[in-house]
Structure 1
C-alpha cells in the first residue's frame, strides 16, 4: 500500500449528472443521481463538513482538521462517506490520515443545473 492511496469511489458518482433544469426534463436516472447529491447536503452536519472542506486553505482538508463538528469521530466518518458516495467529495489516504477535496466538476454541474433560475 502506498502513502497516497485514493479511497475507492464509484465512477458514476463523481461525474456531473445532469443538464440545466430548464434545458429538458431529467430522466429517471438523472433524477435519482441528483436527488442523492441534494440529500447528502440536506443534513446539517454533512453540509457543515462539506463547507469546511470547501473553504479549507489549499482546497483540501485532513479529516483531523474538520472533525470538530459536535459529533463523534465515527459519525464524522459516516457523514464524509455519504458525501463521497454522493460524488461531492473525493478522498485520498496519506499515511494514517485521509484528505478530502470537493469534487469540482460535480459542484459546477449542480451550480449550472440551478444557475438558470438565478438569472
Structure 2
C-alpha cells in the first residue's frame, strides 16, 4: 500500500519525483500551506493527516518532543551539511527501495543514512 510523505522545506525539490517514481505519494509544505510554519505545526498537520514526515531536520529526531508512537512515521535523513541535492535524492531513492522499512514506519522514527536505517519506537 502506498505511503504518503510530507516533504520538509530542507529537502531538494526532486525529492517529490523520487518518491512518486517509487509508487508512493508526496506533498510539500507549500502544497499544504505550511511553507514557513514552525516544526510543531508541521508535525501536528502530519499527525492529523496521516502523513509521514521526511526531513533533514534533527529536531524531529527528538523523541521527547515528537514521540514516534504519536505519528504516522518520521524519517530523518542523516547527511552532512555539505550534502548535495543529488546525494540526498540518492538516499531517498535508497529508502524508497526498502519496503520493509516503509511498512514499519507508522509509530516509528527512522534515522536513515547510506547503507543503514535505525528504527525507534519511542
Task: Name the TM-score, length of structure 2 as normaliser.
Answer: 0.26
The structure number with the bigger radius of gyration is 1
More strand by share: 2
Task: Name the TM-score, length of structure 1 as normaliser.
Answer: 0.26
Q: Which has the higher contact order (CA 8 A, sep 6+)?
A: 1
More helix by share: 1
